[in-house]
Amino acid sequence: MKRSPIPALLTVLVITFLFAPLVVLVVNSFNASRFGGEWDGFTWAWYEKLWAAEEVWESLVITLKIAVSASLTSMVLGTLAAYALHRFRSALQSGHSMLITLPMVMPDILMGMSLLTLFILTGIETGLMTIWISHVTFCLSFVTMVVLGRLQDFDFTLIDAARDLGATRAQAVRKVLLPLLLPGVLAGGLLAFTLSIDDYVITFFVSGPGTTTLPLRVASMMKTSRSLPVINALSTLLIASTFILAALSFRLQRRA
């Protein structure tokens, strides 16, 4: 019986539809033409201008500081939240599960507005701290879901065996539970890092003076046509970094 070529054809069309814009962007980052309407020859000029753009690198440093700190915090809190959701069953945990899931389904614009309202009511000045709190809020949910998936396949009799062999509860957690959960925790952390470094909508609402992250910087640069080729070069580097992080996260999840 012959297989129909339609599923394979549809798959190719969907992949082409999704990745064709990225390919065009990468090609235009090496195009000597400023507007990308036609090919004027290969050039590294836009990457050289990107290298000299100090404001871009300042925004990148701010973005990396927030992404790293938010990812580490989310890894700790997300692991604890996943363990609590998996081990305990109560009405409190049902509410806990709802609160963890809510940031994943809530529209970004609504979440950004609600967080900004909270900061205004509590008198917290917008800046790095408010961006960090906001990023931890939505990154925490994704880390929790990844670690929770790992816990669902975890054999807790290993903890009991360690306790029977004389290990204390703390030693069993440190030497048995955490090493086996580590690939899942790292995968969740990489996912949180990617989400944090790419976030624009929520950061737009909760950022303050002197805390322009890279997505906000790119959005402001897009208002002038002279910056478009530099944005193409920057976007190419971000695409490459995102693919590397996504591949590493996928590999860690498969190991987990």
Q: Model confidence over 21-41: pLDDT tens digits? A: 888 888 888 887 777 667 778
**DSSP string covering 162-192:** HHHTT--HHHHIIIIIHHHHHHHHHHHHHHH
**Residue 156 has what pLDDT?**
74
Q: For residue 237, name the pLDDT band (cuts at 50, 70, 90).
A: confident
Residue 250, pLDDT above cutoff 80: no
**Residue 194 has what pLDDT?**
86
**Residue 117 has what pLDDT?**
92
**Residue 119 has what pLDDT?**
92
Q: Model confidence over 76-93: pLDDT tens digits? A: 999 988 888 887 777 777
Query: Which three-class secondary structure state does DSSP give residue 152?
Result: helix
**Residue 67 has what pLDDT?**
93
User: What sign has the CA pseudo-torsion 76, 80, 83, 85?
Assistant: negative
Mean pLDDT of all residues belonging to the chain: 84
Q: CA 77, CA 51: separation in Å to the nearest integer?
A: 37
Region 169-194: mean pLDDT is 84
Q: Model confidence over 122-177: pLDDT tens digits? A: 988 888 999 999 999 999 999 998 888 888 777 777 787 887 788 787 888 788 88
pTM greater than the 0.85 cutoff: no
